[in-house]
Chains A and B, each alone.
Chain A
Amino acid sequence: MKILVPIKRVPDPQTNIAVKPDGSGIVTDNVKFVINPFCEIALEEALRVKEQQGGAEVVLVSIGPKVTQEQLRTGLAMGADRAMLVVAEEELDPATAATVLKKIVEAESPDLVLAGKQSIDDDANQVGQILASSLDWPQATFASKVEFSADKKEVTVTREVDGGLEQVAFALPGIVTTDLRLNEPRYASLPGIMKARKKELKEVPLADYGVAGAAKVKTHKMAPPPKRSAGRKVETVQELVGLLHTEAKLI
């Protein structure tokens, strides 16, 4: 089985994000970048499938600036077999990223694409679904459990949806996007880091994919959200409930 894992480089979720004064983007000085947490969960799942099934190959792919090498090396150190970086200094819109990924899927013919449900920078929640649709592949988004049939030809996925948990099944190839409860990603081990140095990390320029000027959505301006200021502290429960009753008139 071949599993393709698309990963995105994003600011660490723990860092404070500030918008540049001219609204052209976010301040990136002193911001740590990491593998998008949902992509890390996707990679962990791919590695577990590989460990359980034996013989599987896990291929990482990212579209991003050249420094994304760092995140790909981390992914290789976690246990992925090889990686590919489509070097794009500009941020792509979800449709364009999915177009590039589609071409990679066509070249690699994976059995399964395991992506994150959402990148925590653009919060789009689109790329996996667009990719699936463009290939006319089935999909299971927001996965909290992934189970293969005995012959490994079908997958049953438990999905976190409104109001409960849903299960869907489909024959491979297909796309699964991960939710938070699927697994807890491992850390790269020291031997893993050593091994990763020798693993293939291929770079391809974005120009090879013929997507220049193909953006379907453009970002024009970024601004900080309206600020909510702290109210007051109350001393007792009686005071709190009293204020909710008389001042806020909510009880």
Chain B
Amino acid sequence: MAKVLIFIEHAHGKLPKTSLVAIAAGLEIAKKQGLDTAAVVLGKGVDAVAAEAAAHGVGKVIAIDDAKLEHCVADLYAKAVAGCAKQLGSTWVVGAATAAGKDFFPRVAQLLDAGMASDITGLNDDGSIVRPTYAGNVMSTVSIETPVKVVTVRGTAFDPAPKAASAAAVEKAALPADATGRMRFVSFNETKSDRPALTDAAIVVSGGRGLKSGENFTTVLEPLVDVLGAAMGASRAAVDAGFVPNDLQVGQTGKVVAPQLYVAVGISGAIQHLAGMKDSKVIVAINKDGDAPIFNVSDYGLVADLFKAVPEMADEVKKIKAH
């Protein structure tokens, strides 16, 4: 038995922060409802990630190691996770609200005849759930009415589950025979970067249309990003214009981040952008327009031309770090 089943996403043999946040949310549900937990890891060659998942406080880990699961193909992954939930008699299935979670978790819910709440940020004692709607303009309290409940968890809403005193057991399982899929993985063009991932980073520096070109991202913004050891983000306008890759988009329909420090450069602060960063601990805005809405949420606002201010800022940070 394991009433709360937590799906563990991994990349490059490691668990991203979002998976540890999903574990934390799963553990909290289990504690509130008096249930036990299990984690499920899918993929090809998953021993190391299964062991890592086992170290973070779950009751046990189910690992399904199968060449067919090398890539996260929605129909197959959904069948594997739903099959696992059925076998364990799970009443809650928890995942991270990442691109993969958003993609296949609704299928898990459908296969389990379960209601699903996406991108949740809070769990109430009465079992109801809080999730942002309307680009974060509204916090909705919802209840899932079905015996089995499926949720994806916003990566900024819970502290990542710490390592537990002892590691859980890892059980190997096979992909159910009826788990066949009609989708074919073709290719993955990964954006190569040595910087921290946006959703893992303690500091995020984002650029907007004000940067004016992809080249300026490289020559003006990146030196600041790197001296801060930050991840780089962007507004939709910067992504749409082709300045930077799409997976850097922060916002309602991109990634949600809440780092210790968020620096918005040449970003006006549209509600859709704020939806992805307004829970950051400290927000800095650099914008030449003193009336830009980004200043309504920033702790420190600098009205300046970014082409002058950003290189200066990189120099100042360098000086302090040299001390």
Contacts and interface: CB of A to CB of B under 8 A. Distances in A.
Interface of A: 11, 13, 16-19, 26, 38, 93-95, 98, 117-118, 120-130, 132-134, 136-142, 144, 156, 160-171, 174, 179-181, 215-225, 228, 230-234, 236-238, 240-241, 243-245, 248, 250-251
Interface in B100-126: 100, 102-107, 109-111, 114-119
A108 B116 CA distance: 27
A139 B74 contact: yes
A141 B246 contact: no
Interface centre among A140, A164, A174, A238 (most CB of B within 10 A): A164
B117 to A, nearest CB: 6
A89 B181 CA distance: 37
A95 B145 CA distance: 12
B213 interface: no
A94 B133 contact: no
B35 interface: no
Contact of B117 (A26, A217, A221): A217
A174 B73 CA distance: 14
Interface SS majority for chain A: mixed
Contacts of B117: 217
B320 interface: yes
Interface of B: 11, 71, 73-75, 78, 98-100, 102-107, 109-111, 114-119, 128, 131-146, 181-191, 197, 199, 203, 228, 236, 239-240, 245-247, 252-253, 255, 260-261, 271-272, 278, 282-284, 290, 295-304, 309, 312-313, 316-317, 320-321
Contact of B141 (A98, A141, A221, A230): A221
A212 to B, nearest CB: 14
A138 B74 CA distance: 8
B102 A222 contact: no
A163 B299 contact: no
Nearest to B274: A228
B140 A219 contact: yes
Interface centre among B71, B102, B119 (most CB of A within 10 A): B102
Contact of B137 (A118, A225, A230, A232): A225
Contacts of B271: 13, 16
19 contacts: A120-B134, A123-B119, A123-B135, A130-B107, A160-B246, A163-B11, A165-B188, A180-B240, A181-B239, A217-B116, A217-B144, A219-B142, A222-B138, A230-B298, A231-B300, A232-B299, A237-B304, A240-B284, A244-B300
